Structure 1
Amino acid sequence: MMEDTKSDFTMIFRQLSEVPAQQLHNRNFTQMWALEDLSSHKLFSDWLNKYLLRLSRQQNNSDLDRQHRMKNVNPRYVLRNWMAESSISKAEMNDFSEVELLYHILSFPFVTQETAEGAGYAARPPLWAKRLKVSCSS
């Protein structure tokens, strides 16, 4: 489903770790862009029902425990092409502020950080990023 919808794999897993089970039951993904993208797939409803059934069968496991465990293995921030491009462009003009910001944020990728949220590092990529072409040597 993620491949078919060209969903962001990293953010799907992170948003699954952040969403309470009740919100999954309600199918409320308005603040979760990656899950919202995935929910457009024709098989999403079937998958979600199976996932919720699995969660309900996990006794001795609260929803908060599940979220905590998942957040510890699913990063909120990863280096994206558009982030690298933006920081490189600034660095070429002798402004290393974004390089330093990325270094700090990516040092703690599992922790939600106000500065990272403000910079949009967990948001949908900006429209200009669609034109980026990156090679293996980048």
Structure 2
Amino acid sequence: MMEDTGSDFTMTFRQLSEASVQQLHAVTWALHDLSSHQLFSDWSRLYLLRLARQEGDNDGDRRHRMKSVNPRYVLRNWMAESATRKAETNDFSEVVLLHDVLGNPFIAQDAAEESGYAARPPLWGRRLKVSCSS
């Protein structure tokens, strides 16, 4: 479903990590993308049933486990491009910010949130293509 809808894999899993069972129907951007799939309702129902069957497991524990393995921040092409553009003018502030944020990608960080690092890419960055040799 994620591939069919073009959903962001990292943020879909992270938003599942952050959502309580009661919030799983709330619209967050990555889950919203996934919810457009025709099979989403069936998948969601099965997922909630699976969670309910896990004996001795509570919602807080599930969310904690999931957040410990699903990062909130990953280096995206647009982030690297933005940092590179600034660095070319001797402004290394975004390089430093990215270094700090990506050193602890599982924890929500105010500076990263203000920079939009867990949000949809900006319009200018959606079509960026960077190869491994870049």
**When the two structures are superposed, what TM-score results if normalisation uses the length of structure 2?**
0.98
Q: Does 1:110 align with 2:124?
A: no
Matching residue of 1:94: 90
Deviation at 1:69, TM superposition (A): 0.4
Correspondence 1:1-138 to 2 at 5 A: 1-24=1-24, 27-29=25-27, 32-138=28-134
Identity %, equivalent residues? 70
Deviation at 1:136, TM superposition (A): 2.4
Deviation at 1:133, TM superposition (A): 2.0
- 89-98 vs 126-135, which deviates more? 126-135
Query: C-alpha deviations, 1:12-65, integer Å up to 9, x for none?
Result: 0000000000112xx221xx1000110000000000001000000001101000
User: Over the residues paired in the alignment, what is the CA RMSD in angstroms?
Assistant: 0.7
Aligned residue type for 1:20: S
Give structure 2 stretches of 5+ with no counterpart.
none
**After TM superposition, what 4+ stretches of structure 1 lie above 3 angstroms from structure 2?**
none
Give structure 1 stretches of 5+ with no counterpart.
none
- Using the alignment, how far apart are the partners of 2:44 and 2:126 within structure 1? 29
**When the two structures are superposed, what TM-score results if normalisation uses the length of structure 1?**
0.95
Aligned residues: 134
